[in-house]
Every structure is written in structure tokens, then in C-alpha cells.
Amino acid sequence: MCGIVGYVGRNADDRALEVVMEGLARLEYRGYDSAGVALVTDAGILSDKRAGKLENLRKALARQPLAPSRTAIGHTRWATHGGPTDENAHPHHGGEGDRLALIHNGIIENFHALKNELLADGVEFTSETDTEVAAKLVGREYDRTGDLTAAMRAVVNRLEGAFTLLAVHADSPGVVVGARRNSPLVVGVGDGEFFLGSDVAAFIGYTRNAVELGQDQIVTITPDGYAVTDFAGNPAAGRGYEVTWDASAAEKGGFATFMEKEIHDQPQAVADTLLGRFDEDGCLVLDEVRISEEDLRRITRITIVACGTAAYAGMVAKYAIEHWTRIPVEVALAHEFRYCDPIVDETTLVVSISQSGETMDTLMAVKHANELGALTLSICNTHGSTIPRESDAVLYTHAGPEIAVASTKAFLAQITASYILGLYLAQLRGETYADDAREVMAELRQIPAKIEDLLGRMDRVKEIAYFMADSRAVLFLGRHVGFPVALEGALKLKELAYIHAEGFAAGELKHGPIALIEPGQPVFIVVPAPDTPHELHKKVVSNIQEIRARGARTIVIAEDGDEDVVPFANEVIRVPQTAPLLAPLLAVVPLQVFALHLSTAKDLDVDQPRNLAKSVTVE
């Protein structure tokens, strides 16, 4: 997820660079591993781009100022293809004399094939990015037609995946062209000046008149106005509205907190993590896997090392990967792994899961695994971070930057990436076939829409949270893949509302914890799908009966249509139906929302809870 800004002004004061830099500063939360700008000037395209935070670019521009301009684009990056380096930063250039500059937010799934086509034509590349492929294609089209809008239209009809593109050309001063598919783009309508942005934070400092573009639309802005077409060139219209948020709220997409915004980012986080994982033959592909297929086939054991929420993602992964690959999977808390004399050899795959890629406990576990000769693979959300660099292979999640300390979208992306890894290994080892993997992936592809649907029906969860604001202790029960969901729900409540909360395997209750049940004790129960094997659903319904009989206040997370739970539930929170192994991607959402609202009800700091840090870089 990246921040993009475009600007065209009529004003003689040539403030394009100032406008774009302010927009990037407000969008930096969307990605901050590199930044760049491109201006259209009498001397052609002038651009500068730097790895690292926006401040690095600001300092570079102070040292070497660019000429004034009234047309500019700017980009702050969250790397998806290619690490956070100067060369991979946007903008990228194309066309004769590199007179075109282009920036991009998203993932172009078919960029390998397009890049090979260009390489065969003798085109040279300076970066590893999918974006540079688009820049070369649009530049080549512009050289044919001299029309930037037509060039963009010709190219976007060849792209697959998720993208918002902005382009400028030296020969078209006063013009910025944007296009979007499965990625946001908003027009800002000023007085004699027009803006483009990945969201309104890009221009909230200049205008509140916004026009949101729809799927597969192209927009051309000039000092005289803006024009919208579809990808076929037919006139189209965006959705105009007045931005009522203040600048701070705009950086959170209009939500009150980053956590609430990131909960609502989850459909996109899952969708983006799935993007580009299949090749033309329907076989799974992974990022930057530097482990040979032969070595992957020889794996006899998998050990997942992680901490906190990431460890709970690993626990979900265990059920799925073992089911698909028949390889034994152990989940070890990273800070325990090094000291338990682990059984590891060259046929062990140690999978680390980490949003930040900097968690010291997890990093030290990976280093220990390397010393013991294991194969190491990192599931990580932060390009260029330390843990992927220490690993033999990496599978990036594409959740975008997660600002809130309490992890939400990264958790869902980690689970999604773990499923992809499991299916890949199963396919490689012949434990499952491409069509089986395709079937699971097809159900996975339904998940974003189901999360979106679920997020639209959280009002009752909010009411329950406010009703329970004075709770002293809350219990969470789950079984099978619902067990790590219960643990995650408890962790969210601890982190955000500072309430004692504990997750249990539902079957474990009668072996002691049921002594905790007393009249009025709130208990969340994550109920498996009715069609889960081994009558697990029936067993969990029995567990609900056991605690209800002892006076517990039962809040049940159950699938749409599951009526068996109703007689024993004080509250039923419905989630959409899905395959049993994929259920955590939905069941956890109400628990996230509950913790968020209970924290808000207690007027606590949702995004930066006490005693916590986003990345624990000490052991």
C-alpha cells in the first residue's frame, strides 16, 4: 500500500513541489520505505527519489532543489516487488529519453510476462519493480501517439492485478493522467488547480471537494478541469463528495484510530496477499524463494517460530499445513525455541512469522535455526527488514504498513500467507493437485468480500463492548483452528482494554478452568462450522451448555444459519460461512472489533496502548 499524489495548477507561483511534498507527508502512514517526486518543467522531467523516510527526500531536495513547476507527481512506497532502495523507489521512467514518469500503488500480477516482452524488444530496466514495467509500456505508447491519456488506456487494458497509476510526460505540461483498478484514486477539485491522491489526505490541506473514481476508470487533470473515462475510453463519472474529516482523521481514512482503519483494511490486506501467487498454469508461485524445490520436497518437519499475535497465526497455520502436506508442524514461541534444545536438522523448515521483521526474539530464533542447519523461510510484512534478510526464503504479506500497536490486518495476512505456503508445499510434494489448491484459493478469494460483509454488521458487537466496559475478566474458548482465535481474542482485550482475559481450548475447560465460571462471567466461544469433521461443532455446543448451566454469560461467534447454538447463547454474533480451515479469517474480526470498542469505551489509547511497542526489538 503506497501513498500517491498528483497536482496540476494554473497559478503562476508554481507550487507543485510544495503541494506534492505536503501530500506525501500526510500519506506517509501508507508506506515509508522510500519516496520520490517528478516535475514537468521547461527542462523536461525533473525527478528525485530516495530510499528511507520522506525526510531523506526532503533533505536531498534541499541540497539539490528542482526547478519550479505547476505539474508534479509524488510517491511514498511500501515495497511489494523489490526491496526499499533508491533504484526501486518511484517514480519510474519510460519512453524516448525517459521523458515519461510514472508512479504506482498496488501489485501488477502479470508483470513478469510483460517484462519479458519488453526485454525481448531490447528495453533495459534499472529496478526490480513491477512499476517500471508499466512505465516502459506507457512511455512506449506515448511515443506512438503523443497522447498521455490514450497511452495510459492502451496499457491498463493489458495489466492484471491491483493498481493505481499516475503518469506525466515532458511533452505534456499541465497534464497528469491517473488510472485505477482494485486500488483507490480520488480527485481533489481546487480553485484553478486539481489534485490526485490514493486518499483525501493527499490534498486535504488544499480542498475538501473530492471525486472518488470507480473501478477501471481513467482520469486526466489539467488546469482547466478533469475528465473521466472507462478503460474503453467512454465518458464516465466519479462520485463527488465534500470531505468532512479534519487532516488528522484524513490520515486514518476518516476512521477515529489507525486500528479501526486497519481492521477495515483487512479485506484489501487478504486480497493483496493472494495477488500474484498463481502462474499462467494455475500453479502457486512464491516471492524470492531461495530454497530449491528439491530441498523443499525433502522437508520432514516444520517448526514455526513467532511471538504474540504472529504465534497465533502460526497455530492456525499448523492445522492447515499439516492437513494439506502431512508434514508434522510444531509452533514454538520464538523466545523459547532457542533454549529448548530444538530438534532441527537440514530437513527441518523453520518458518518465522513477523509483521515488523525486526522482533528480536524471532530474529534470534531464526539465527539459531540457521546455525543448526535448518532451512529458514520468513513470512513478513516489511520488505528489507532484518528477519527476511537472515532467511533462506521469504513470502511477503501485502497488508501495507500496520501503524496501530495491536496487530489486526497483519494477522489475517499472516494466516493467508501461511495457507499459500501450505498449498505450495503440498503441490510441490504431490500431496495435493493444482485443482485442489485452486479450489482452496477460490474459497480464499471469497474471503475479502466476506470480511467486508461482516464489517458491515458489527453494531451489536459495539453495544456489547460498551455494556461490558466494567468487566474484570473475560474468557475465550475455541477448538481446532478456533483455539488460536480464542487466544488472539484474549490478547487483543489484554492489549487494548487492560482487562484480564484468557483463551482456552474448549475441550480443556473441564480439566480445571471451568472452576472460573461463576454467574455472570462473560465467555466468548468461537464455534466451528457445523460441517467441521469429527463432530467438533457438537462438542463445542456441549461446552457452551456446560458453562451456561453454571451461570456464564455466553457470547457465541457462530456461522450464519447455525441454529444449534441459539438456546445456549446470551448473544450470537454471526459470521459468514466458509471452509472450516479458513474460518479464523472471519471469526477473529468480531473479537478485534469488540476489543477496539471496549478500549474506546474506557477512553484508552487504542493505537498506542500502555507498556507496548509496535516492534519489540529487544530480547
- CB 189: neighbour CB atoms within 10 A? 17
The residue among 309 and 427 lying less far from ligand AGP, judged by its C-beta, is 309
The Cα–Cα gap between 27 and 199 comes to 8
* Binding of residue 85 to ligand AGP (CB under 6 A): no
- Tell me which of 172, 355, 378, 578 binds ligand AGP, using CB under 6 A: 355
* Binding of residue 307 to ligand AGP (CB under 6 A): yes
- Tell me which of 164, 183, 207, 362 binds ligand AGP, using CB under 6 A: 362
The residue among 34 and 408 lying less far from ligand AGP, judged by its C-beta, is 408
Give me the sign of the Cα torsion angle 227, 232, 237, 239: negative
List the one residue out of 326, 323, 328 whose CA is nearest residue 349: 328
The residue among 362 and 543 lying less far from ligand AGP, judged by its C-beta, is 362
* Binding of residue 592 to ligand AGP (CB under 6 A): no
List the catalytic residues.
Answer: 2, 614
* Binding of residue 273 to ligand AGP (CB under 6 A): no
Segment holding 525, helix H or strand E = strand 522-526
How far apart are CB 365 and ligand AGP at their closest, in Å? 11
How far apart are CB 610 and ligand AGP at their closest, in Å? 13
- Tell me which of 308, 484, 528, 584 binds ligand AGP, using CB under 6 A: 308
The residue among 406 and 596 lying less far from ligand AGP, judged by its C-beta, is 406
- Tell me which of 325, 359, 471, 578 binds ligand AGP, using CB under 6 A: 359
* Binding of residue 608 to ligand AGP (CB under 6 A): no
Asked whether the beta carbons of 469 and 583 are under 8 A apart, the reply is no
According to DSSP, the residues that pair with 72 across neighbouring strands are 7, 39
* Binding of residue 204 to ligand AGP (CB under 6 A): no
**Three-class DSSP labels, 334-388:** HHHHCCCCCCCCCCEEEEEEECCCCCHHHHHHHHHHHHCCCEEEEEECCCCCHHH
3-state secondary structure of 221: strand
- Tell me which of 46, 103, 201, 405 binds ligand AGP, using CB under 6 A: 405
* Binding of residue 309 to ligand AGP (CB under 6 A): yes
The span of 54-62, 253-261, 404-412, 517-525 binding ligand AGP (CB under 6 A) equals: 404-412
Query: Which residue do the cell numbers 519516496 mark?
Result: 35
Query: Which residue do the cell numbers 486539481 mark?
Result: 194
The span of 90-98, 284-292, 348-356, 576-584 binding ligand AGP (CB under 6 A) equals: 348-356
Residues 6 or more apart whose Cβ sits within 8 Å of residue 479: 505, 506, 507, 526, 528, 536, 539, 540, 543
- Tell me which of 105, 354, 471, 578 binds ligand AGP, using CB under 6 A: 354
The span of 257-265, 294-302, 355-363, 462-470 binding ligand AGP (CB under 6 A) equals: 355-363
User: Considering CB under 6 A, how many residues would be counted as binding ligand AGP?
Assistant: 15
Q: Which residues of 529-559 are buried (b: 16+ CB within 10 A; e: fewer)?
A: bbebeeebbeebbebbebbbeeebbbbbbbb
List the one residue out of 406, 584, 573, 590 whose CA is nearest residue 483: 584
- Tell me which of 34, 69, 266, 356 binds ligand AGP, using CB under 6 A: 356
Distances from the Cα of 333 to the Cαs of 314, 358, 360, 365, in angstroms?
10, 15, 12, 9
Binding site for ligand AGP (CB under 6 A): 307-310, 354-356, 359, 362, 405-407, 495, 615-616
